[in-house]
Amino acid sequence: MRKVYIIGIGAGDPDHMTIQAINALNKVDVFFVMDKGPAKADLTRLRMEICERFMRDRLYRFVEVADPVRDRQAATYEEGVRAWHEQRAEIYEALIRDELAEEECGAFLSWGEPSLYDSTLRILDQVAARGTVAFDYEMIPGISSLQVLVARHRIPMNRIGESIQITTGRQLVEGRLGRIDNVFVMLDGDCSFRHVMNDDLQIYWGAYLGTENELLVSGRLQEVAARIEEMRAEARARHGWIMDVYLLRRP
């Protein structure tokens, strides 16, 4: 039977690869890559470099396919995401059916931790539920950007007697969080921390974590917010893409 792995490859540093992830790499015949355009070619290059470094004399190939664009004009965010996932499910199904022989192994290399704001597992669930192509699948956990962020800033992820939240910039803007004590914010394309500037918060921000382009800023939000916005805009203009994450913490 065909086998598909979802392999967490860390936040950008090849040294984030676990032994389990390396062992899974060395079973793969075909790597599937969703091409997000020239601006994000670095992400494909890094995936290839990881395979070149860790795969031991195994023949493999990459299959790239254009990633469908999510409709940002959909009636609701949820409707737009569901339609986008349906398009991706069609593509994944075709890749597994047409690019994998019956006993071959394929893989999606997922940034960070595949269970954390990554749609690959959810979409493979959809493909499996259709029952049109038989395959088995397995997820290999990875080091998340959250772990790298706190390691770089030399702080604990949680404090004694306190919980943490992990959310998105959209939820921060919509004011769904209530009191902020320890909130990790991911998938924020628009510096949403501007919406909580009146709170007395500390921010620990990082971009391109684990890569040679890594950026770090920490301090009182009101004092460093403008600097983060400026650095983020400049870096995005220079590289054509940016992946960042931050922790908002009450002192």
Q: What are 148-164's pLDDT values in tens digits?
A: 999 999 999 999 999 99
**pLDDT value for 39:** 63
Tell me where in the chain the CATH 3.40.1010.10 domain(s) lie: 2-140
The pLDDT of residue 12 is above 90: no
Least confident piece of the model among 16-20, 175-179, 200-204: 175-179
All CATH 3.30.950.10 domain ranges of the chain, comma separated, are 145-249
- Contact at 8 Å (CB) between 206 and 149? yes
The whole-angstrom separation of Cα 247 and Cα 32 is 32
Q: Which CATH class is domain 145-249?
A: alpha beta
Give the pLDDT of residue 18. Answer: 97
Measured in degrees and rounded to the nearest 5, phi and psi for residue 110 equal -105, 130
- Confirm if 70 and 187 have CB atoms less than 8 A apart: no
Range in 51-60, 114-123, 133-142, 168-177 the model is least confident about: 168-177
Least confident of 62-66, 104-108, 139-143, 178-182: 178-182
What pLDDT band is residue 56 in, cutting at 50, 70 and 90?
Answer: confident
CATH 3.20.190.10 matches 2-140: no
**pLDDT at position 170 over 70:** yes
